[in-house]
């Protein structure tokens, strides 16, 4: 009988012990859920804030651009990395001789890197260097005339005409890569920039 009594006593004590952890777990479940939701919302909020800052930086300050193609040689060669600032575009401070990044008139998903040869109202030569007879045209209002420095291997305004100012994304002001070429960009090597009257 004493053995039975001990057994019954053990059984009687084991019931509240087994119930106690379940009450603790049920009480901490909502707390854990609230903490998880709070951390998730905090992370989402941080991501949105960071995204907004990054968007404003890229839209209004500038961006890094990796260039490809031969059209701007020798000034910019294949795989060069440049910094394109946006403030000049927003404040209408793009000038003749500037190198710009613009949306391609042929394909809005593609950017082109060209030099501004003429602004609105300028008379520009629309012929290639090899043409015997030279033709000229005036740049209409709200447009710019863009050409690559490598005139013999560049698709530019000589092919697609004046480019709307709104397609300009930024002005290239600095070459970052390769390291031995770090610095401001050279002037036009071909003398095609329209002189101010």
Active-site option among 14, 68, 88, 114: 114
Reading the block at residue 61, the tokens are 């300050």
Residue located via tokens 């059984």: 11
For 144, 169, 188, 189, 194, the CA distances from 115, given in Å and listed in that order, are 10, 13, 8, 11, 12
Residue 114 appears among annotated catalytic residues:
yes
Q: Which of the residues 71, 84, 88, 157 is marked catalytic?
A: 71
Cβ atoms of 172 and 113 closer than 8 Å = yes
Q: Is 109 a catalytic residue?
A: no
* Nearest alpha-carbon partner for 111 in 161, 47, 64, 158: 64
Structure tokens at 7: 């057994």
C-alpha 2 chain-centroid distance:
83
Query: Which of the residues are catalytic?
Result: 71, 114
């Amino acid at each position: 009988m004493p053995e039975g009594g001990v057994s019954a006593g053990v059984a009687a004590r084991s019931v509240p012990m087994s119930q106690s952890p379940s009450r603790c777990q049920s009480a901490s479940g909502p707390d854990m859920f609230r903490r998880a939701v709070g951390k998730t919302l905090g992370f989402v909020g941080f991501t949105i804030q960071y995204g907004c800052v990054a968007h404003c930086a890229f839209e209004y300050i500038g961006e890094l651009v990796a260039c490809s193609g031969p059209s701007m040689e020798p000034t910019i060669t294949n795989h060069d990395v440049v910094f394109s600032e946006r403030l000049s575009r927003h404040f209408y401070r793009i000038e003749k001789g500037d190198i710009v990044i613009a949306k391609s008139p042929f394909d809005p998903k593609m950017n082109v890197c060209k030099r501004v040869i003429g602004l609105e109202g300028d008379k520009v030569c629309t012929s290639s260097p090899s043409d015997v007879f030279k033709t000229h045209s005036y740049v209409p209002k709200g447009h710019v005339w863009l050409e690559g420095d490598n005139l013999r291997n560049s698709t530019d305004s000589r092919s697609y005409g004046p480019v709307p100012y709104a397609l300009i994304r930024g002005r290239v002001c600095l070459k970052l890569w390769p390291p031995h070429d770090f610095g401001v960009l050279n002037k036009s090597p071909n003398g095609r920039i329209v002189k101010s009257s």
